[in-house]
Each structure stands twice: as C-alpha cells, then as structure tokens.
Structure 1
Amino acid sequence: MAFLTLTDVTKFYGATCAVQDMNLAIEQGEFVSLLGPSGCGKTTTLQMVAGFEAVTRGQITLAGRDITHAKASTRGLGIVFQSYALFPHMTVAANVGFGLEMRRVPAADRAQRVQQALALVHLKALADRYPRELSGGQRQRVALARALVIEPPVLLLDEPLSNLDAQLREEMQFELRRIQRTLGTTTLMVTHDQDEALSISDRVVVMRAGRTEQIGHPHAVYETPQSRFIAGFVGKANLLEGQLLRPEKLQLLPAGSGRLAGTVKERYFLGSQWLYALDTPAGTLMALAANDSREALAEGQACGIDWPDSALRSLPLPAADGAQAQGAH
C-alpha cells in the first residue's frame, strides 16, 4: 500500500468542480509535484490533503489511516506556504521551534531539534536574527526548517520558491531536493514552473481544468506526453501533423541540406543556448542550438533542418475542452 493515497478525490464549490476524480498513490520518501496552469486544481488538491479544504467526494489515506475528514491540526503534516508566514516578532530559532512548543516538547529537546533543523538548512549562524534581517532565500529556509523540525510524515509545499528571483530560485530548487533526500520525507509540491517540477521531482502530476492529464517520471512526461496540452505546456514543442518534435531535437544545417528548408524569422539569446523561430513549409518551428564556437544564425538567414526519427512522438487527437485526454497512440 502506498504511503499517501488519494482515491477519486473530488472537490466542488457550489456547481463548480475544482478537482475531479483525483487518483494518486505516493510512496514513502517520494517527491511528487502537482504541475499545471493557474486554476487547474493543484492548490485545491494540496489543501484537501492538508485538511484546509473539505473533500466533497473520495478518500485520502496516510500510512493506512483514513484522514479524509480529519482536522488539519491532527494530521501532523509539515507545510510551507508561498508567503512563508514567519512571525516577524520572533527570532529565527523561535520561529523554527514554534511547532515544537505547541506540541509541548521539553525545552532541552526542543533546543536540540531546532539547532539540528537550522544546521540542515545552513542557518545556525542566523538563529538570533529576525525575519526582517534575512534575505528571501534565508526566509524560505527558515520556513522549510520550521516545517521539517516537527518530523512530519508528509511535507506539503505550496509554490515555495515563487517569491525568489530567478538565480536564487534555481539554487533553492536543488537545495530543497538535497534536504528532502537527506531526510527522506515524503513530499508533495504545487508549482506552475515546469523547470522546477522536472528538475527535482521523482514524479510529476500534470493537471488541467481539475483533472489529471498524466502522471509519470519527469523524463517520461517530457519525452512522451499523453496529450497535446501536455506537449505544449511542458516545455516547447513543434507539432507536425499530429507528431511532436522538441526544439532541442532539431538539427540546424547549412542551407540546401536536411529534410526541410528554413529561414530564421527571430532569434533569442538564452545564455548557453540560442532559441530560433524558423519559417518553413511546415509552418513556424522552434529550434534550440548550443551557444558554442559556431557563429549564431542571423535573422533572415537560410538554413537546412533535420532530425532523428527517434525524436518524433505521436500524439492523440485533441480532447474536447475540459475533457479527459486519452492515451497516446
């Protein structure tokens, strides 16, 4: 039996269905991300697991115990919110130890566990500071330490890195994964950031309009999407008569060679790569090329385009809006 299980979990707000028939089994120690656009139901799903939202229909079990209608305070879950929700009048150490104090953990034990949690997030030296004296990344680590210090069976993360700048966000993604692996804490994270979900998750749950579109390893979701929505939402894609071709699979060659002729319509510098929009007889295609010793293609320059046969993926016909997508064929 899986450690955390959602069976046919459904949530209605009046006549509006926010989540429909969510089925998910998470193993102990697994890191799973709920990925999807705004309004797809991922945060509502997390809140039902946390106990902040009532389940309309279905069942949630944790370690074999039915917690579907249990109060949030009795579930013992660790939660990190988007806003971090730190107490401004408390020091870092006091913020981290708050949950232990509410659980009436003896002072000596509490102090030891707080120090261990701060060491885990590399903040022992800042124990006596206040939140206003910390950077965004440091406040995020305090919130994470506070959630982990109670030794929760499950850690719930609600867009925990969305308030950080791009560089710090990328650094914290891998720091978060390091901490999770160190402790082996079962983790469920909500995010709309595809790179974040793909880079640190064991599995990704792609949601759309309250339904689950696909559940799988990040590589499988990216390389073999089960619907056109996923192909377009998870990374960039070129669709050729029902087939998917990722931009990085395209090979840009000298003009007159390759299977397809193209002209550079626009180009975008991404640091380590160039992203090209190419006019072709098949329509506009996107291609990624390494920023290496070769000279970048100029706008208006002709080129040849090719790709390995193994890079093509067949996709199903588009499902009706709001309908469940069928399996790939």
Structure 2
Amino acid sequence: MAFVQLEKLGKRYGEIDAVVATDLSVEKGEFVSLLGPSGCGKTTTLQMIAGFVDVTSGRIVLDGRDITHAKPASRGLGVVFQSYALFPHMTVKDNVAFGLRMRKVPSAEIQQRVDRVLKLVRLHQHAERYPRELSGGQRQRVALARALVIQPPVLLLDEPLSNLDANLREEMQFEIRRIQREVGITTLMVTHDQSEALSISDRVVVMQAGRITQIDAPYTLYEHPRTEFISGFVGKANLLPGERDNSGVVQVCNRGEGDLTLSLRPEKIDLRDAGQGRLQGKIASRFFLGSQWLYSVATALGELCVVRRNDGSAPLSEGTAVGLDWDAALLRVLTVDEVSA
C-alpha cells in the first residue's frame, strides 16, 4: 500500500461537489503537486488530508492507518500555510520550537532539533530575529522549519510561494526541493502555478472541477496532455484540427475541419521563409520575453503562437510573411474534456 492513500475521497457543500470521488496514491518520500485553477478542489483536498475540513465520503489512509476522521493534532502532519502564520512576538527560534513545546518535548531535545532544522533551512544565524526583521523568503523558511521540526510523516504545502515576488519564488522553489530531498519527507503541495509544479515535483496531479484529470511526471504531463484543458493550462498550446490519413498517421487538416483536436506546443513550431513549410501566415504581433520572442502568427487555421529563442539576431517585424513547419510526430491527439472548466 502507498504511504498516503486517498480512496474515493469526496467533499460536498450542500448541492455543490467540491471534490468528487478522488483516488490518489503517494509513495513514501515522493513530492506530489496538486495543480489546477481556483475552485478546482485542490485546496479542499489538502485540507481534508490535514483534518481541517470534514470528509463527506471516502477514506484517507496514512501508512496503513485510517485517519479519515482523526483530529488534526493526532495526525501529526506538518503544514505550511500561504500566509506563513508566524507569531510576530516570538523570535525565529521560538517560532520553530513552539510545536515541540506544545508536545512537551524535553528542553535539551528542543534545542538540538531547532538548531538542526534552522541549519537545514540556512537560518541558524537569524535565530534571535523576529519575523518583521526577515525577508519574505526567510519568513517562508521559518514556516517550513516549524513544520519540519516536529518530524512529521507528511509535509503539506498550501500555495507556499504565492506571497513572494517572481525572482524569490523561483529561488524558493529549488530551496524547498533541496530541503525535501535532504530530509526525504513525503510532500504534497497545492499550487495554481504550472511552472512551479513542473519544476520541483516528482509527479503532478491536475485537477479540474473537483476531479483529477491526469497524474504524470512533469515531462510526461507537458509533452503528452490528455485533454484540451490540460494542454492549455499546463503551458501554452496551439489547438489544431486533425485527421488520420489512410495509413493511420495523424496530420493537421489544413482545410480547417477535422475529426480530431491536436495540440502543438509553440516551441515545436519552426519559422521558415514565406512559401516554405506546411502552413503560411503573417506575424500579427510579437512579445519580448527576455530569453525568447513570442510571436502570434495569423494563418488560415487562426492565430498560432510560436516561440523562438532569442539568439541575438533581429526579431521578425509585424506583418512579415512566414512559413510554419513542424515534426508531425510532435502532434498530440486530445480527448474532449469530460468536465467543464
């Protein structure tokens, strides 16, 4: 049996199903992200695991023990909230030690465990500071240390980086992953940021309208999305009409009609000189993204998004006629979404 097991887990508020019959298995030491838009049920799922929200149906099993109706304190899980929830009148050291004192751990052991975890999160030099004297990233690491110091079987992260600016978010993504790997703790993280989920997770669970729609390793999820929703939510995607030829090979239907919906990532499309390639178009608009140029190309199949690496050469001007080409093997056949976004 998996270390964390959700069996037909559901939550209903009146006539509204927030989470519908969810099955999920998480192995010990695994880092799993629940990814989806607002209202998809990911936070409710995490809160049910933590014990903060009552379960309507199904079971939660932790290391073989049914904790579905156990009180939050008896589950022993570590939780890091979006707001950090630090005590402003306590130093870093006292914030981290708080959970151990509530558990009546001996003072000498508290000192050892607090020192160890502060070194782990690289804050041992700030032990006597107060939260107001720390940066956002440092406060987040205090919250992480406080969750880890109780040595929980599972770490739950609820949008842990949403209050940080873009550069600090990226830095903290890899810091969280470093700490998780070093400790080896089973971790579930809720996020709506697809780049965050893809960059640090072992597996990503995509949720939509209270249901899990795909569970895969980050690379597999990005390269092989199952539905139109996943294709568009996890990265950018061009949706194209498709068909199978007489030999069963999938191809884009340039007539604009087809019995298949195909996904093609912007970076998989090559820009050619006008008259070359599988499809012709004109640059409708362009956007500079630093390391890349993002082009919107008007074609007979609608506007397509194309990404070209910034190699220092002059960008294409709006109105420039271009050809578009791609490797047919990179086309992905999508299924119709079973639930509405």
TM exceeding 0.5: yes
Task: Report the residue type matching 1:253 in the other structure.
Answer: R
Residue aligning to 2:200: 200
Counterpart secondary structure, 2:172: helix
**Preserved contact between residue 208 and residue 339 of structure 2 (Cα < 8 Å):** no
Residue aligning to 2:278: 259
Residue aligning to 1:152: 152
Task: Say which of 241, 265, 268 aligns to 1:246.
Answer: 265
1:35-71 deviation line (CA, Å, top 9, x unaligned): 0000000000000000000100000000000000000
**Preserved contact between residue 92 and residue 128 of structure 2 (Cα < 8 Å):** yes
Residue aligning to 1:325: none
1:292-326 deviation line (CA, Å, top 9, x unaligned): 0332111111111101112101111343537xxxx
Residue aligning to 2:116: 116
Residue aligning to 1:25: 25
- Provide the C-alpha distance between the structure 1 equivalents of 2:210 and 2:237, rounded to a whole number of angstroms: 23
Task: Say which of 291, 295, 308 aligns to 1:272.
Answer: 291
Counterpart secondary structure, 1:100: helix
Aligned length: 322
The answer to whether the aligner puts 1:71 opposite 2:90 as a matched pair is no
Structure 1 runs of 4+ with >4 Å offset:
none
The answer to whether the aligner puts 1:129 opposite 2:148 as a matched pair is no
Residue aligning to 1:107: 107
Counterpart secondary structure, 2:305: strand
Residue aligning to 1:294: 313
- Provide the C-alpha distance between the structure 2 equivalents of 1:134 and 1:5, rounded to a whole number of angstroms: 37
Task: Report the residue type matching 1:214 in the other structure.
Answer: Q
- Provide the C-alpha distance between the structure 1 equivalents of 2:108 and 2:223, rounded to a whole number of angstroms: 51
- Provide the C-alpha distance between the structure 1 equivalents of 2:138 and 2:68, rounded to a whole number of angstroms: 34
Cα distance, 1:226 vs structure 2: 1.2
- Provide the C-alpha distance between the structure 1 equivalents of 2:281 and 2:90, rounded to a whole number of angstroms: 61
The answer to whether the aligner puts 1:229 opposite 2:229 as a matched pair is yes
- Provide the C-alpha distance between the structure 2 equivalents of 1:304 and 1:268, rounded to a whole number of angstroms: 19
1:198-231 deviation line (CA, Å, top 9, x unaligned): 1100011100110111111111111111111101
The answer to whether the aligner puts 1:317 opposite 2:336 as a matched pair is yes
1:74-128 deviation line (CA, Å, top 9, x unaligned): 0000000000000000000000111111111111111111111111111011000
- Provide the C-alpha distance between the structure 2 equivalents of 1:105 and 1:283, rounded to a whole number of angstroms: 65
- Provide the C-alpha distance between the structure 1 equivalents of 2:123 and 2:283, rounded to a whole number of angstroms: 49
User: Which stretch of the first structure deviates more once superposed, 150-159 or 293-302?
Assistant: 293-302
- Provide the C-alpha distance between the structure 2 equivalents of 1:48 and 1:14, rounded to a whole number of angstroms: 17
1:139-171 deviation line (CA, Å, top 9, x unaligned): 000000000011110000000000000000001
Where in structure 1 are there 5+ consecutive unaligned residues? 323-329
Task: Report the residue type matching 2:119 in the other structure.
Answer: A
| RMSD (Å) for aligned C-alpha atoms | 0.9
Distance 1:320 1:74, change over 3 A: closer
Task: Report the residue type matching 2:292 in the other structure.
Answer: Q
Residue aligning to 2:54: 54
Task: Report the residue type matching 1:316 in the other structure.
Answer: T
Where in structure 2 are there 5+ consecutive unaligned residues? 242-260
Q: Percent identity?
A: 65
Residue aligning to 1:306: 325
Cα distance, 1:261 vs structure 2: 1.0
**Preserved contact between residue 92 and residue 127 of structure 2 (Cα < 8 Å):** yes
Task: Report the residue type matching 1:250 in the other structure.
Answer: I
- Provide the C-alpha distance between the structure 2 equivalents of 1:320 and 1:25, rounded to a whole number of angstroms: 22
Task: Report the residue type matching 1:135 in the other structure.
Answer: S
- Provide the C-alpha distance between the structure 1 equivalents of 2:145 and 2:3, rounded to a whole number of angstroms: 23
1:6-28 deviation line (CA, Å, top 9, x unaligned): 00000011111100011000000
Task: Report the residue type matching 2:205 in the other structure.
Answer: V
- Provide the C-alpha distance between the structure 2 equivalents of 1:285 and 1:193, rounded to a whole number of angstroms: 23
The answer to whether the aligner puts 1:282 opposite 2:293 as a matched pair is no
Counterpart secondary structure, 2:197: helix
Residue aligning to 1:326: none
Distance 1:94 1:203, change over 3 A: same
Residue aligning to 1:217: 217
Task: Report the residue type matching 2:284 in the other structure.
Answer: K
- Provide the C-alpha distance between the structure 2 equivalents of 1:157 and 1:249, rounded to a whole number of angstroms: 33
Residue aligning to 2:12: 12
- Provide the C-alpha distance between the structure 2 equivalents of 1:163 and 1:266, rounded to a whole number of angstroms: 32
Task: Tell me the TM-score normalised to structure 1 length.
Answer: 0.96
Task: Report the residue type matching 1:220 in the other structure.
Answer: T
Counterpart secondary structure, 2:179: helix
Task: Report the residue type matching 1:259 in the other structure.
Answer: R
